[in-house]
Amino acid sequence: MAPSLTDARELKAFVVDEGHGVKGLSELKIKTLPDLFIQPLEKRLDLSKVVPQESIPVIDMSNSEDPEVEERICDAAENWGFFQIVNHGVPVSVLEDVKEATHQFFALRADEKKKYLFKNSPTKNVRLVTSFIPEVDKVLEWKDYLSCFYVSDEEAMAFWPSICRDQVLEYMNKSESLIKRLLEVLMKRLGIPELNETNEPILMGSRRINLNYYPVCPNPELTVGVGGHSDVSTLTVLLQDETGGLYVRKLNSENWVHVPPIKGSLTINIGDALQIMSNGQYKSIEHHVVANGHENRISVPIFVNPRPSDLIGPLQEVVKTGEKGLYKQVLYSDYVKHFYRKSHNGKDTIDFAKV
């Protein structure tokens, strides 16, 4: 039954607890956005701060061994924290398949999807969520997402939704060598010649994949798809569809830059963990997704992370040159817990690790 749009409790139960999500609400073809989703002005994207003439770097990875390409990658990580890559080696068919699988998962009936809500899911590694942390968010974000933490193929086969599992695993596997190559290049500039059995697990020892769904929104200007935040990953590989709507903050400025969809491309961004490990040389940048009044948008980020049990801090090779460490050693699982304790609020998570 359709919920009352004015009773916040009833609405939240429909959206959050019954598996309908904001997608279910969007499909009721409501004409006005319920108050529960109306964000305060400071959380919405200020369009007057968007600089349309600027864009993040687009890097062709076909010759990723070329020193010039390596330089562009490292420069982008230092000066933008965000870049798009083309000819990256992940087959376009794999990207198309995971996008299609994302649509198929969200097209399931609410009573099917409900099985993956945290309260029902047989594993804590798979959960379907609306907004970011609905228990904490005072105002909800206009987004549903399925979040899968990768433990093993067996675990994924047992617990990930069968409608999208194979495609998500394939996407993850096919991006493995790209991720290694990017990290190798980024480490080289920090004076670390190679990935080895000590540093590799700290840089990329765990993965989380989210399937994000941003349904058509009435009054998109009053809410957000995702509020401004930085990722807590080492780096994030993001696949977006052709809709657009992702904005990134330009380094050390108030301005926002749009990330235009480029067919076959992937967007790479540096996360907090790599900002910390590089002692601030590589930048984890605040980003924001607007809600959309016309299209259902999907995106599929792979968050490449340290292992939960890793202690992260500025890497020895970076601080041994006499540079002062800007961050202390923190247990990665504590860092992530801190992220999930509060609603999205720009770049504030990293304060947790500051000395």
Nearer to ligand OGA, 226 or 318 (CB): 226
Q: Among 44, 88, 287, 344, which residue interacts with ligand OGA (rule: CB under 6 A)?
A: 287
Q: Which of 252, 208, 244, 242 is nearest to 225 (CA)?
A: 244
Instruction: Tell me the number of residues near ligand OGA by CB under 6 A.
Output: 11
Phi, psi of 56, rounded to the nearest 5 degrees:
-70, 155
Nearer to Ni ion, 231 or 272 (CB): 231
Nearer to ligand OGA, 64 or 299 (CB): 299
Q: Among 289, 291, 330, 353, which residue interacts with ligand OGA (rule: CB under 6 A)?
A: 289
Q: Among 70, 141, 144, 231, which residue interacts with ligand OGA (rule: CB under 6 A)?
A: 231
Q: How many CB atoms lie within 10 A of CB 53?
A: 5
Q: Which does 202 bind (CB under 5 to 8 A by kind): Ni ion, ligand OGA, none?
A: none
State which of positions 20-49 bind ligand OGA (CB under 6 A).
Answer: none
Q: Give residues with Cβ within 8 angstroms of 147, minimum separation 6.
A: 126, 127, 128, 129, 208, 209, 210
Q: Check binding of 278 to ligand OGA (CB under 6 A).
A: no
State which of positions 198-227 bind ligand OGA (CB under 6 A).
Answer: 210, 212, 226
| Nearest residue relative to Ni ion (C-beta) | 231
Residue type, 245: G
Shortest approach of Ni ion to residue 246 CB, angstroms? 9
Cβ neighbourhood burial of 145 (10 Å; 0-12, 13-18, 19+) = buried
Q: Which residues pair with 298 in a beta bridge?
A: 213
Nearer to ligand OGA, 218 or 228 (CB): 228
Rounded to the nearest 10 degrees, what angle do helices 165-189 and 67-79 cross at?
100
Residue type, 11: L
CB 245 within 8 A of CB 294: no
Site string for ligand OGA, 295-314 (x = CB under 6 A): ----x-x-------------
Per CB under 5 A, residues contacting Ni ion are 231
